[in-house]
A and B are shown apart, each in its own frame.
Chain A
Amino acid sequence: MPTASRPDAARIGIIANPVSARDIRRVVANASNLQVADRVNMVLRVLTTVASLDVPRVLMMPDRGGIRAMLLRSLNRERNLHHAFPEVEFLDMEPTSTVDDTFLAARMMRAAGVKAIVVLGGDGTHRAVVRACADIPVAGLSTGTNNTFPEMRESTITAMAVALYATGRLTPERALAPNKMLEISINEGERRDIALVDAVISTDRCIGARALWKTETLSAVYLTFAEPQAIGLSAIGGLLQPVGRREAGGLAVHLSHDPATRRLLLRAPIAPGMVREVGIAHWEPMPAGEPFPVALQAGVVALDGEREIAFNAGDRVRITLRENAFPTVDVARCMQAAAREGLFRLSSSTL
């Protein structure tokens, strides 16, 4: 196997959210609940994989949700068994058990010079990492509810692709892919936020338990990409007019609960196990860079499945699609390149 160009510089970060997939959709929709023990197992698999591919050091976000405590116990056991691990260092930060932990960890990892950040979470966790740090490549592992943004993939394979990139065996041009995002601006930038998959406007005006599952409150759905096989609110767009993750432009869907103004009724899987009828008024492509004004007077903007920002009459809400907004490690492309170029072959045979 070719050796890394500068293996000593090859370090990666891991941000594992202990409380993704813990919201009310466990009760209203029987959504799955990945246990902390399984999240720790995923981290352990990432660690052993990157260790065997010459990544010497991994920075991790500390948490008070059980991942750090269980991981440290597991690492002690594994060391007794003489299994190889990279050096694991927890960031020197005090966890608050809020999304601020993810923001801070992502910024600290960038400052520490990580090559990529492996994220364990759902759409919301990935959004938080990108919001804090849009220039470090992200490699996502699905541990959330909808998991539209992170691909469902065995963590070993994601870790292999990350190690190929982090050790310089694959260049950014070959390993990374650009992604779209939505920029949400309230009153010309008084407040800004982003979404990686969907920004949904709801007549609901309380953040409350955050999750969004009541279709009668939906007013509009703005999407970076919309796949027909997706679960969650992006499925509405995916079943109307699919837009690929790598295609130009996004999609805006305007809903109506009034039979007089709606053009059709669509059945869509808006949450796990919940196929619901949604009244569609019209839909339109979202070209990059063009601000879309939100028509609803007062409501809530939900970002990647969670109610985030309440707005009132007089607030001007604009949503703009941005292309080439942040890079992700393109696992499939990395592994294809690795196979093509024999990156995992240990002999010089080209047979």
Chain B
Amino acid sequence: MAGKNPFPLSRDELLKCYRTMGTIREFEERLHIDFGRGDIPGFVHLYAGEEASAAGIMSHLGDGDRIASTHRGHGHCISKGVNVVAMMKEIYGRTGGACNGKGGSMHIADVSKGMMGANGILGAGAPLACGAALAAKFRKKGEVAISFVGDGASNQGTFLESLNLAAVWNLPVLFVVENNGYAESTSRDYGTAVDSYVDRAAGFGLPGVTVDGTDFFAVYEAAGEMIKRAREGGGPALLECKMVRFYGHFEGDAQTYRGAGELDKIRADQDCMKKFRAQVTAAGVITADELKAIDREVLGVIENAVKEAKAAPLPTLADLTTDVYVTY
């Protein structure tokens, strides 16, 4: 039976998920370099290291399912199907960007893909996801909404109020706590009274599950059960993905709060892409060469996105008064 696919996804689906994770990784690695060179205006928060969460959860979603992302939203956008060139143009502040270059990294949105937006305000996405879930409940098409927060934002009132609202209204919403261990630079021990995000859910009568967020298949399976349950009317739930981030809170963060050797260790031992590669090649379902081909393909996609972004024109002064609620 060697070579028979033991995974809950087909070979093509596995390749697609790897391509998604690889695209996120390369996107972020490239931004790390370009931001350091001063090519990019504004601020970026990189998702590198956390890819298995976005890819594992979003594999279960369609365009009709909506997500509310965080300040660290590039991975969510890519997994939800937002065009990578439009994202890169947005981050470079160019016309043709996902929001015409006016929002930048923290405001990438594409409603046609169900991506309601990255969000610079911590915890602000949770009530938006409740709104989307309420709409889905009325539409009765089995759609769901996902709210992403970090471990820091899960202490925000908006997040806790959203858990309450979702429970009372039995909304088809999944709250995902992407726990990378640091609220910006503050270790959880200093800022969180009850350091279990599942306990937050239990306080509102919702089921909560903790998974190894660096294992794509653990995230995929748990999220699948929770999303299926929400689609069938089983209501909200909370998924805590324990994960690692490879870069600082923001680009330029000196990360003096990390332990000695911590970054090298997490890159060596807790890289979700390494784990994915090891699992699918050991099972004989996908070869290392096939994965390398995807790595090369992704490199080209990102290189092209940067080239197109740099070539795109900057917004003009006249663009200042478009796409706004006020009429000038």
Q: Chain A residues in contact with chain B, CB under 8 A? A: 18-19, 22-24, 26-28, 30, 33, 35-37, 64-66, 68-70, 94, 96-98, 204-210, 297-298, 310, 312-314
CA distance A19 to B283 in the complex (A): 28
* Known interface pairs A206-B6, A208-B221; A35-B210 also in contact (CB < 8 Å): no
Closest to B202 in A: A33
Q: How many of chain B's residues have a CB under 8 angstroms from any CB in A?
A: 41
CA distance A143 to B241 in the complex (A): 21
CA distance A28 to B8 in the complex (A): 17
The dominant DSSP class at the A interface is: loop
Min CB–CB distance A213 → chain B (angstroms): 10
20 contacts between A and B (CB under 8 A): A18-B195, A18-B196, A19-B210, A22-B240, A23-B210, A26-B207, A27-B222, A33-B198, A33-B208, A68-B189, A69-B188, A69-B189, A69-B195, A70-B193, A98-B212, A208-B221, A209-B209, A298-B2, A312-B283, A313-B2
B217 in contact with A208 (CB, 8 Å): yes
A297 CB contacts on chain B under 8 angstroms? 1
Nearest CB of chain B from residue A270's CB, rounded to whole Å: 16
Q: Is the CB of A27 within 8 A of B226?
A: yes
Q: How far is the CA of A69 from the CA of B199 in the complex (A)?
A: 15
Q: A36 contacts B194, CB within 8 Å?
A: yes
Interface centre among B209, B226, B229, B282 (most CB of A within 10 A): B209
Known: A27-B229, A70-B194, A206-B8. 14 other contacts (CB 8 A): A22-B198, A22-B209, A22-B210, A24-B225, A26-B209, A27-B222, A64-B195, A69-B188, A69-B189, A69-B195, A207-B215, A208-B215, A208-B221, A312-B1
**Shortest distance between the CB of B177 and any CB in chain A (Å):** 12
Which listed residue (A24, A36, A94) contacts B222, Cβ 8 A? A24
Would A28 and B225 count as touching, CB distance under 8 A? yes
Within 8 A of A (CB), among B206-241: 207-212, 215, 217-218, 220-222, 225-226, 229, 237, 240
Question: Taking each of A27, A28, A70, A206, which has the highest tally of chain B beta carbons within 10 Å of its own beta carbon?
Answer: A27
Contact, CB under 8 Å: B283 / A205: yes
Find the A residue at minimum CB distance from B218.
Answer: A209
Pair B217/A312 contact, Cβ less than 8 Å: no
A20: shortest Cβ distance to chain B, in Å? 10
Set of chain B residues within 8 Å of A312, measured between Cβ atoms: 1-2, 283-284
Complex Cα spacing A70 to B283, Å: 42
Q: Judge whether B181 is part of the interface by a CB distance below 8 angstroms.
A: yes
Bound-state CA distance A22–B225 (Å) is: 14
Let me know if B217 and A27 touch, CB within 8 A: no
Give the residues in chain B near A207, CB-CB below 8 Å.
215, 217-218
Cα A206 to Cα B9 in complex, Å, equals: 11
A66 engages B6 (CB within 8 Å): no
Q: Chain B: which residue is nearest A66 at the CB level?
A: B195
Taking a contact as CB atoms under 8 Å apart, the answer to whether B218 and A210 are in contact is: yes
Query: Which of chain A's residues has its CB closest to B234's CB?
Result: A27
User: What is the minimal beta-carbon distance from B218 to any residue of chain A, in angstroms?
Assistant: 5
9 cross-chain pairs, A with B, having the tightest CB-CB distances, nearest first? A205-B6, A66-B195, A22-B210, A208-B221, A209-B221, A26-B207, A298-B1, A69-B189, A208-B217
Residues in chain A near residue B221, CB distance under 8 A: 24, 206, 208-209
A119-B284 Cα distance, complex, nearest whole Å: 39
Across-interface contacts of A97 in B (CB, < 8 A): 242
Do the beta carbons of A35 and B196 come within 8 Å of each other?
Answer: yes
Most buried by B among A18, A37, A64, A206: A206
Specify which of B188, B194, B225, B282 is in contact with A64 (CB 8 Å cutoff).
B188
CB B190 to nearest CB in A, in angstroms, measures 8
C-alpha spacing A28/B222, complex, angstroms: 10
B259: chain A residues at CB < 8 Å are 94
Instruction: Give Cα distance in the complex from A207 to B193, angstroms.
Output: 32
Which of A30, A66, A209, A310 contacts B283 (CB under 8 A)? A310
Q: How far is the CA of A172 from the CA of B260 in the complex (A)?
A: 43
Interface centre among B1, B8, B196, B209 (most CB of A within 10 A): B196
State whether B199 touches A36 (Cβ < 8 A): yes
The complex places the Cα of A66 from the Cα of B179 at a distance, in Å, of 13
Q: How long is the Cα–Cα vector from A96 to B262 in the complex, in angstroms?
A: 10
Whether A27 contacts B7 by the Cβ 8 Å rule is: no
Report chain A residues within 8 Å CB of B193: 70
CB neighbours (8 Å) of B198 from chain A are: 22, 26, 33
Q: Check: B4 CB closer than 8 A to any chain A CB.
A: yes
Q: What residues on B are CB-neighbors of A209 within 8 Å? A: 209, 211, 217-218, 221-222, 225
Does B281 make an interface contact (CB < 8 A)?
Answer: no
A208 and B220 form a contact (CB under 8 A): yes
Q: Kindly identify which residue among A24, A37, A64, A313 contacts B209, using a CB–CB cutoff of 8 Å.
A: A24
Complex Cα distance A175/B242, Å?
39
Give the complex CA separation of A33 and B284 in angstroms: 37
In the complex, are the beta carbons of B207 and A36 less than 8 A apart? no
A69 to B198, CA, bound (A): 16
Instruction: Collect the chain B residues with CB atoms within 8 Å of residue A36's CB.
Output: 194-196, 199
Alpha-carbon distance between A18 and B8 when the two chains are bound, in angstroms = 29
- Which residue of the partner chain A has the closest CB to B239? A27
Q: Write the nearest CB–CB distance from B274 to chain A, whole angstroms.
A: 15
Q: Give the docked Cα–Cα distance between A314 and B193 (Å).
A: 50
Contacts of A205 in B (CB 8 A): 6-7, 283
